[in-house]
Amino acid sequence: MKRLALFATLTASPALAHPGAHLHPHGSGDWLAVAMGLAVLAAAGGLAYARARSRK
């Protein structure tokens, strides 16, 4: 089984990929950067809210 997996890994190269349309277009991962930015903003807002509330 190891040799079969090695063979499949070595033969599945980008040179053998078809030139047609992809299921996942390039640049579709941009939402991840936006989601991470929103998460950072939400965390910063939550911390600011908690600090402001604890000072009262």
5-19 mean pLDDT? 68
Q: Quick one: CA dihedral 28, 34, 36, 38, positive or negative?
A: negative
- Encode pLDDT of 23-53 as tens digits: 566 666 777 888 899 999 999 999 999 999 9
The more confident residue out of 45 and 17 is 45
Kindly tell me if the per-residue pLDDT of 20 is higher than 80: no
Report which secondary-structure segment, H or E, holds 19.
none
Q: Is pLDDT of 6 > 90?
A: no
Q: Is the dihedral of CA 36, 42, 46, 47 positive or negative?
A: positive
